[in-house]
Structure 1
Amino acid sequence: MLQVTVALSSGRSASLSIAHSSKVGDLKALAQESLGKPFIKLVTGEGRVLTDLSEPLEAVGLQDGDQLTMIARQPFKMAATGKAFALWTVGGDTILTWGKPECGGDCSAAQDQLRSVQKVQATDCAFAAILEDGSVVTWGLPAFGGDSSAVQDKLIRVRQVEATGGGAFAAILEDGSVVTWGYPFFGSDSSAVQDQLRTVQQVQATYYAFAAILEDGSVVTWGDPRHGVTAPQCKSS
């Protein structure tokens, strides 16, 4: 028999005894039963993800005393464009979409890239997913943010993506800078304020415009000047 330990990220673990002739699927079922928690994948101490449930444990190379990490299944989350839905779990490798295909209901062209999805944002006709490595995958109507190819080389170490209700995305990178794409009328053109978009802490959006809070507490806005770009006028008493 093979003795291994399977641990959750919380620190909770279980010592398991399983036959050498067993398969990855058998180990997964035993781990789920022992820890009472469904999960999406097992990771070895060397960082190998065990995805093939039919693979024999002997081929995996597990040894007595090895420890594996169990990536638990997270609650389902949803996002929606104006005409399509997306359903996923944090850390999962699959997104289910339905609705009008051109508005995000069909993610088949991007499905192979959707691995370890963390967050999904949506404009009126496109989705943007942040992956575990900080990259971004988009699909949907190209003009409304579904095509990020023009800025793809800049979309690295992304920590937040916000979207206007119309058709533009804004991504905050780890260094506090911002990358935008989509339909210019809805806020994708941030060139006029790009030099000011440093040390950005948070971005919020209306249907047509973005507002970014900087580290010093100041606010930078861009988008359609008729819809939320002018300086704040309301003051608290």
Structure 2
Amino acid sequence: MDSAHVIVLPGGGYAAHTPSEAEPIVEWLVGLGISASVFRYPLNVRHPLPLEALQAEIRRQREQGVGRIGLMGFSAGGHLAGMAALTQGTDPRDAVHFAVLGYSITSMETETYRPSRLILLGENASPAQRRATSLDALVSASAPPFFIWHTAEDIYVPPEHTYRLASALAAHEVPHTVHVFPHGPHGLGLAVGAGDAASWREHAVRWMTEQLKAHAG
């Protein structure tokens, strides 16, 4: 199997699916010749239901003949993408070859973007539960490559989330690329007309092309 496919996971705080982070992203990727589809994971449900649903979708893609799977998630969708990329087991059907995260929630240990934590874990989540759903705590040397981008002005999901994950990836010598742009609010999506932040697409395409070539064959 040598085909490749990117599963796009829109954000929305685990309470909704943000439209600008769904079909427009797929249309952009398909326009570049990259097979892609939106996956609308379950909302307003507890962990691990969204993760199990995404894992089932990855296996469904495998059954349809896809060889290489990439995940592209935004905000809460980025958290879910990271969970799937970092918790894959030994079954090759679950393999994720790379992950692209945009202004993503990565930590359930901070108080920033608390609403997502309340949906996933409830009001009285233990420190262990919060740690077990924080991406930086799940990184190992076997993690796939990550491309992460954020803006320094994001007040809803501060760039601290990106820095936490990037530090863990670096500590485990996992290949990764990080871009933190100076300006732009949360939820930029394709970031058309958003100044420097719009260049995330160009950087990501080059990076994804490199990943796909690395895993070809």
Task: Provide TM-score, normalisation by structure 2.
Answer: 0.26
Task: Provide TM-score, normalisation by structure 1.
Answer: 0.25
- Greater per-residue strand proportion: 1
- Greater per-residue helix proportion: 2
Structure of greater relative contact order (alpha carbons < 8 Å, 6+ residues apart): 2
